[in-house]
Amino acid sequence: MKVFILGGATTKFGELWNLSPRDLVKEAVSEALSDAGLTVKDIGAIFVGNMLSSSLGGQDHLGAFFAEELGTNAAAVKIEGACASGGLAVHHGILAVLSGIYENVLVVGVEKMTDHKPEEVAKMLMGAGSDPERESGATFPGLYALIARAHMKRYGTTEEQMAYVAVKNHFHASLNSHAQFVSPINLEKVMKSPVVATPLKLLDCSPITDGAAALIISNKRPKSGKKGKKHTQVSIVASAVATDTLGLAERSDLTTLSSAVAAAKKAYDMAKVKPSDIDVAEVHDCFTIAEIIAMEDLGFFPRGSAAKAIWEGKTRFGSGRPVVNTSGGLKASGHPVGATGVKQVVEIYQQLKGVAGKKQVAGAKIGLTHNIGGSGATAVIHILKSFK
């Protein structure tokens, strides 16, 4: 696969009441274009990752909406797959440049969530679930709570171990100036936070977030630095998608996401790498239990042992490898759902390029992103490599 990342950027994530979706996209895209040394005229097609513009914002026709804002008449389309919308948009951007029809494409993920009441957002997010799940009054924290209790029962995973995932990711976010939450938290604070859906507490859950992330990808190798000096560049060496049943009730095992296992296998095969080759990973920790399961689904740790490994700091910045969720993850960097899958790729791109700032993992050469839609109905895995 010959796909190159020319530029990437994200906005600050958070409660951005003074910014509209247009503002967010314009900011992320301007920065990504400037990083790539391109202008919007160089972009052949735009892939927008977004979930809720229709239900929360009342805005369909999102491709043309943002093309207008960016001042181009390029091809533009919205890609939707719940919280995996961003990852799917990256996947489709890759297909577009691999087709040869487009040389450079823009992938932009965006979500505007904090304009609306929490119960409305919770209801609209359940659009990612099944009809019976909606009829039961389940929420996304509720669905992941069902998964968590099954994992606790089978493997003895504890609430403290789950809480530690939040502690680790808030620590990482404290090193990320673009994160929603920039203050570290301790275990006691997570354990004493209000219950959302037993056994998950408020600080086990990713927040409601506004934000955008943009990526410029190309089938043309980026130019080397001036005067023959070679800069570190980043290519995407695998992009894989798999699906599973929409609802949890139809699954035979709640302690794994079979879509993630299937997509990861395809991606490792495509990239010809093993889980042990990964230096840095951004995974879909929409809830703390989700990161524990992701570690097992991706083959980083054997089944039932990831919670303990995370607790021991084996994925923490400064002590572990692979370092997981250097951005702070969805948990602490924030989860603007359509932007998340794009942001993950931007974070890994910056890590491999060596421009990740205070959270830079020394010598990172191979990175992975794991983006999940719904309670595992869609999984998107990307693997990135640096080269000179």
* Residue from the set 58, 137, 228, 363 that interacts with another protein by CB under 8 A: 137
**β partners of residue 9:** 214
Min CB(174)–another protein separation in Å: 26
Piece in contact with another protein (CB under 8 A), picked from 79-87, 88-96, 114-122, 346-354: 114-122
CB of 271 to another protein, least distance (A): 35
Query: In the bound complex, what is the minimum distance in angstroms from residue 304's beta carbon to another protein?
Result: 17
Exactly one of 54, 114, 136, 193 binds another protein (CB under 8 A); which one?
A: 136
Please report how close the Cβ of residue 88 comes to another protein at its closest, in angstroms. Answer: 24
Q: Choose which of 188, 249, 269, 274 interacts with another protein (CB under 8 A).
A: 249
Do 375 and 82 form a contact (C-beta atoms < 8 A)? no
Q: How far apart are the first and last CA of the chain?
A: 17
Residues 6+ apart with CB under 8 A from 129: 138, 140, 143, 246, 247, 374, 375
Residue span binding another protein (CB under 8 A) among the ranges 149-157, 217-225, 235-243, 363-371:
149-157
C-alpha distances (whole Å) from 137 to each of 5, 125, 291 are 42, 12, 25
Nearer to another protein, 138 or 342 (CB): 138
Beta-carbon contacts of 216 under 8 Å, excluding residues fewer than 6 positions away, are 5, 6, 7, 8, 32, 33, 35, 36, 38, 43, 104, 105, 106, 107
Number of other CB atoms surrounding residue 363 within 10 Å: 9
Query: Judging by DSSP bridges, how do beta strands 280-283 and 323-324 pair with one another?
Result: parallel
Q: Does 123 bind another protein (CB under 8 A)?
A: yes
Half-sphere exposure of 1 (CA within 13 A, CB side): 28
Tokens at 48, concatenated: 């927008």
Q: Is 370 among the residues known to form the active site? A: no
Contact 369, 282 (CB under 8 A): yes
Query: Least separation, in Å, of the C-beta of 300 and another protein?
Result: 24
Minimum separation from the CB atom of position 285 to another protein (A): 18
- Taking the complex as a whole, the smallest distance from the CB of residue 364 to another protein amounts, in Å, to 37
Q: Name which of 181 and 287 has its Cβ closer to another protein.
A: 287
Q: Which of 60, 68, 250, 312 binds another protein (CB under 8 A)?
A: 250
Task: Pick the stretch among 90-98, 242-250, 262-270, 353-361 that binds another protein (CB under 8 A).
Answer: 242-250
Select from 14, 247, 367, 373 the one that contacts another protein (CB under 8 A). 247
Does residue 251 bind another protein (CB under 8 A)?
Answer: yes
CA distance 295 to 283: 8
HEC sequence for 194-226: CEEECCEEHHHECCCCEEEEEEEEECCCCCCCH
Amino acid (one-letter) located at 90: V
**Which residue in the list 91, 335, 370, 382 is annotated as catalytic?**
335
What DSSP letter does each residue of 323-361 carry, written as one string? Answer: EE-TT-HHHHH---HHHHHHHHHHHHHHHHHT--GGGPP
- 286 assigned to active site: no
Q: By CB under 8 A, name the one of 73, 100, 131, 229 that touches another protein.
A: 131
Q: What are phi and psi of 19, to 5 degrees?
A: -115, 140
Please, which of residues 299-338 interact with another protein by CB under 8 A? none
Number of chain residues interacting with another protein (CB under 8 A) = 37
Contact flag: residue 150 with another protein (CB under 8 A): yes
Rounded to whole angstroms, what are the CA distances from 222 to 20, 52, 186, 208?
32, 34, 43, 36
Indicate whether 194 belongs to the interface with another protein (CB under 8 A): yes
Q: In the set 145, 242, 260, 379, which binds another protein (CB under 8 A)? A: 145
Cα separation, 162 vs 307, whole angstroms = 7
Residues of this chain, 35-64, that bind another protein according to CB under 8 A: none
**DSSP code per residue over 266-294:** HHHHHHT--GGG-SEEEE--SBHHHHHHH
Q: Which stretch binds another protein (CB under 8 A): 94-102, 133-141, 217-225, 269-277?
A: 133-141
Asked whether position 142 contacts another protein by CB under 8 A, the answer is yes
- Give 238's DSSP letter: E
The stretch near another protein (CB under 8 A) out of 15-23, 128-136, 174-182, 321-329 is 128-136
Which stretches of the chain bind another protein, using CB under 8 A? Answer: 117-120, 122-123, 126, 130-133, 135-139, 141-142, 145-147, 149-150, 153, 194-200, 247-251, 254
Q: Could you list the active site residues?
A: 83, 335
